[in-house]
């Protein structure tokens, strides 16, 4: 148990640090930027608010990130026809390409896992990890009377 606490501590600043160290493909891209592109690649076009939720970031931060990415030509934003308020975010060709490069690197890391684990271990690991993630998510409000609904770090829908 103490070991887990220890491991927990090691999740310090700079999530994805290892990735952008590896990924000096395009120098001028933030970790958040990459993260955003990956989400769009995986989930398809999304409104700003859903994107922010996926990122675990406040909407105002998402605005900044989206502005950067738009300026750099990796995404495009267009108002939805049904609802003029929602801005649909879409990957451009360059954006999609960069995201795919990044995806490959992640996939390479994951396949390292597959190489290191037996299929049973892999199965176990995935199952337990999801179970744990669910506990952490639902357990967020332990000592709190009323949690303000807010973007959380890890969200698992069933």
Partner DNA sequence: CCTCTTTAGTACGATTTCGTAGTAAATGTT
Partner DNA sequence: AACATTTACTACGAAATCGTACTAAAGAGG
Of 142, 140, 145, the closest CA to residue 155 belongs to 140
Does 54 contact its own copies by CB under 8 A? Answer: yes
Q: Please tell me the count of residues contacting its own copies according to CB under 8 A.
A: 70
Asked if 59 interacts with its own copies (CB under 8 A), we say: no
Q: Toward its own copies, which CB reaches closer, 15 or 85?
A: 15
Binding-site partner at residue 49 among its own copies, DNA, none, CB < 5 to 8 Å by type: DNA
Question: What is the phi/psi pair of residue 29, to 5°?
Answer: -140, 130
CB 88 within 8 A of CB 44: no
Query: 129 and 117 in contact (C-beta within 8 Å)?
Result: no
CB 82, min distance to its own copies, A: 27
Residue 83 CB contacts under 8 Å (≥ 6 apart), including other chains? none
Question: Which is nearer to DNA, 32 or 98 (by Cβ)?
Answer: 32
Which residues make up the interface to DNA (CB under 7 A)? 13-14, 30-32, 47-50, 57-68, 77, 82-88
């Amino acid at each position: 148990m103490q070991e887990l606490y220890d491991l927990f501590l090691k999740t310090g600043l700079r999530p994805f640090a290892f990735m952008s160290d590896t990924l000096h493909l395009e120098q001028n891209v933030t970790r958040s930027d990459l993260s955003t592109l990956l989400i769009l690649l995986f989930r398809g076009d999304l409104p700003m608010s859903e994107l922010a939720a996926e990122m675990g970031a406040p909407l105002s931060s998402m605005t900044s990130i989206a502005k950067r990415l738009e300026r750099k030509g990796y995404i495009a934003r267009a108002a939805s026809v049904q609802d003029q308020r929602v801005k649909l975010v879409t990957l451009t060709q360059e954006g999609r390409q960069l995201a795919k490069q990044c995806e490959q690197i992640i996939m390479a890391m994951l396949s390292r896992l597959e190489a290191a684990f037996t299929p049973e271990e892999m199965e176990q690991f995935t199952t337990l990890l999801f179970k744990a993630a669910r506990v952490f998510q639902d357990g967020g409000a332990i000592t709190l009377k009323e949690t303000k609904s807010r973007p959380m770090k890890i969200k698992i829908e069933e």
